[in-house]
Each structure stands twice: as C-alpha cells, then as structure tokens.
Amino acid sequence: MAESDIGIRAFVESDLVWAVPLLERDFASSTVVSRGHVIDAAELPGIVAVREDEPVGLATYRLNEDDCEMVSLNSVVENIGAGTALIEAVATAATATGCRRLWLITTNDNLHALRFYQKRGFSLAALYPKAVDQSRALKDIPRLGADGIPIRDEIELELWL
C-alpha cells in the first residue's frame, strides 16, 4: 500500500477502546511525563491515521499560545506513512490556531524517534540532563530503554511552522 492510502480524521471518544491499549503498549499507561508534567494523552485532542477504515496511528497534542506540543505519536503499523501523515496533520492543526512551533519531548535512549523526527524536519532544541530521574517520581519509568541504553535525559525537538 502506498502512503497516499493513509487517511486522517479527528480522535473521538469511541477511539479510546483501541487508543488506550496502544498508549499502554508504548508508554505502560495512557499517561506520559513531559517536562515535569503528568499528562493523560487519552484526554487530549488528537488525530487518527486510518487505512482501509482501520486505525493505524494516533497523535495527541496540546495547543499553547504560540506553540504546540505533540505529546504522543504512536503507530499500530510502522513504515506505511502513518507517522508522517500524523505529523503533517498536527502541524496543520497547530498552524490553523496561530502556533508557529511544533515541539515534542523524547528520551536519550529513543534513537528510533530521534532518527524519525529529524528525517521529517525536526531539529534538536534542548537537552534536559537527568530530567527522567525527576520524572520517575511522577511515573514508573524503566532504568534501561531501547538497546540497553540507560534512560536519563529528555530531549526537546522542534519544527518551525
């Protein structure tokens, strides 16, 4: 299937039946910690990627005065264009409300995310050394992440709109 086969629609309450398990798969719960704030991604505005009427991805976000934080980006199926379509849709929604910057937080161990976002135009904006140690007081976060890399730091990536 081509990337053009990916459709986009709003995240609605009936999506919770599949979205919460997806968030739990990737984050161990629907809550995430970003810059010291506990956020329930399932309660945020979001966008769903669909293929053949089935959900294949979810992005949730928080709009601020002049920027937008993408809180979560999760794919049911990878390498079909869902993540890219979701980023573009969140950027469009953010721009429509006057936001000039789309940003997100990931952790130092998440090399897959760092590679993915930079290939789509995001730049490294800030490093928050040992921020995950503080986040562990708010949520249970493992000590080791992908490839056995210790999870320590938060990394902020941004895309100017």
**What are the domain boundaries of the chain?**
3-160
Chain-centre distance for alpha carbon 103:
10
Tokens of 80: 């079909």
Topology of 3-160 in CATH?
A: Aminopeptidase (3.40.630)
Would you state the structure tokens that stand for residue 61, as one six-digit string? 């976000």
Residue entry with tokens 């979560």:
72
CB 87 within 8 A of CB 50: no
As given in the structure block, the two tokens for residue 126 are 């800030």
Cα 102 to chain centroid, rounded: 11
Structure tokens at 114: 């760092």
Would the pTM of this model clear 0.85, i.e. be above it?
A: yes
Please, are residues 146 and 45 in contact by the beta-carbon 8 Å criterion? Answer: no
Token code pair at residue 107: 């952790």
Q: Show pLDDT as tens, one digit a residue, over the chain (161 residues).
A: 445 699 999 999 999 999 999 998 988 778 787 887 888 899 999 999 999 999 999 999 999 889 999 999 999 888 899 999 999 999 999 999 999 999 999 999 999 999 999 999 999 999 999 988 887 877 777 788 878 999 899 999 999 99
C-alpha dihedral over 7, 5, 29, 150, to 10 degrees?
A: -130
Q: Is 153 helix (H, G, I), strand (E, B) or coil?
A: coil
Please check whether residue 100 is in contact with residue 161, taking contact to mean a CB–CB distance below 8 angstroms.
Answer: yes
